[in-house]
Amino acid sequence: MGKKKEKKEKKKKKKLLKKFTLERIMLFVVSGLLIITVAYIAIDSFTKSGDEEAAVAESGEEMDAEGEEVLGEQPDSGEEVSQPAASGDATPTPRRLELQPSPTPPDAISEDDPRSILDLNIPSGTASFNDKNEAYTYDTENATYEVKDGQLVGVDHEPEERNSYWSEFSIRPSGNVYAEISATNGDCIGKDSVGLVIRIDAEIVPSGYSLEVSCDGSYRLRNMRSNAPNAVFINWTPSDAINAGPFATNRLGIWGYQGKFHLFINHQHVDEFYKYDYVDFYGRFAAYVRASQTYDLSATFDDFAFWDIPFIP
């Protein structure tokens, strides 16, 4: 009886052990499946998140911290948006019309300045001396003028006070006019000078009116007619506006409206003169170098421009 009961107990324990082992195995299997499921969900979520971020990067949109879309800056309606050039393609350079610039950028001028009625950005005519036909050239025992390296080059061979030999510009004449030119001294001294002439009468040589600047820093205004009485309107007058000395450059400007003359040097108004019985009222332009002491004195000229003065009531 006791052995039978003991045998029955062993059989019962063996059955319970077998059941317990089967339940552990099932638990392990279920746990493994759960782990695999969680891992799959995590991988799938991470992959989708990466795809969404790539899509946002491509569309230019961003996501805020709460997952809401934040739109990037968009161009205003009608605004032209430049597109990047395709890889390997050079951006084409647009073709543009080359405009002739004003040779002298206009300074800020007051209403009292006579030039205030002119558009200094737009001259009526210019000469840059890049073309040999822009000025009259010649070579004589008295003087030589040639167009060279984009400049008008003049040489006065003999020092003298009586005559000035110049080069006229092949540009249309003018009457009431404001004209400018850049003049650079040669190896000058004292009253060796450079000048700009307006209103040269083609039938009478010499003629016209000139602003002249000397090497030692003085200017004068002359009637160029050799037989004119009181030919010097303003005699030599020193001015701090002048860049004096050898190889110095000055911008000469002369305003002539009827018998009224205004003189400008390096954009500064230095003097004025009125001649009620003026003779030359219309004509061409010229520049010159005049030797007072130096043999074979040279000078160069560039960037000539003039502006027709409108009628002043």
What's the pLDDT tens digit per position in 254-278? 999 999 999 999 999 999 999 998 8
Decide: pTM greater than 0.75. no
- Alpha carbons 143 and 152: distance in angstroms, whole number: 13
144 DSSP β-pair partners: 139, 155
CATH of the domain at 270: 2.60.120.560
Question: Is residue 161 situated within a structural domain?
Answer: yes
Q: Are 223 and 201 in contact (CB under 8 A)?
A: no
Instruction: Give me the mean pLDDT over the 75-101 stretch.
Output: 55
- In this structure, the answer to whether residues 171 and 297 fall within a common structural domain is yes
- Alpha carbons 200 and 220: distance in angstroms, whole number: 18
Question: Is residue 91 situated within a structural domain?
Answer: no
Which structural domain, as residue segments, surrounds residue 180? 115-308
Question: Is residue 103 situated within a structural domain?
Answer: no
pLDDT of residue 274: 96
* Residue 218, φ and ψ in degrees, nearest 5: -125, 160
- In this structure, the answer to whether residues 173 and 291 fall within a common structural domain is yes
- In this structure, the answer to whether residues 39 and 187 fall within a common structural domain is no
- In this structure, the answer to whether residues 250 and 132 fall within a common structural domain is yes
Q: How confident is the model at residue 56 (pLDDT cuts 50, 70, 90)?
A: very low
Question: Is residue 152 situated within a structural domain?
Answer: yes
Question: Is residue 108 situated within a structural domain?
Answer: no
- Alpha carbons 250 and 301: distance in angstroms, whole number: 10
Count of domains forming the chain: 2
